[in-house]
Amino acid sequence: MPLFTRSQLKRFSNIFDNASQVLLGSLVLNPLLNPTSASGVIITLGIPMTLVAWWISLEFERTSL
């Protein structure tokens, strides 16, 4: 018996998709568009964090099929 139902996995996928969009906007795009607060460390960490959250979202979506 699976630990989570299909609808729960789809919901997790949605949550991580939303999280990846927030990470992209706050840690990558904001420093690029507002150079006074730009920090290479923030952008450098933001890109992998965004990709990991997006990848988790895709894995949950694939698992729910």
Percent of the chain's residues with pLDDT above 90:
55
pLDDT band at 59 (very low <50, low <70, confident <90, very high): very high
The whole-number pLDDT of residue 11 equals 95
Q: How far is Cα 35 from Cα 32, in angstroms, rounded to an integer? A: 6
Has residue 33 got a pLDDT over 90? no
The whole-number pLDDT of residue 52 equals 96
The whole-number pLDDT of residue 35 equals 76
Q: How far is Cα 54 from Cα 13, in angstroms, rounded to an integer? A: 9
Question: How many other CB atoms are found less than 10 A from the CB of residue 55?
Answer: 12
Has residue 23 got a pLDDT over 80? yes
CB 28 within 8 Å of CB 47: yes
Q: Which amino acid is at 53?
A: A
Q: Which amino acid is at 10?
A: K
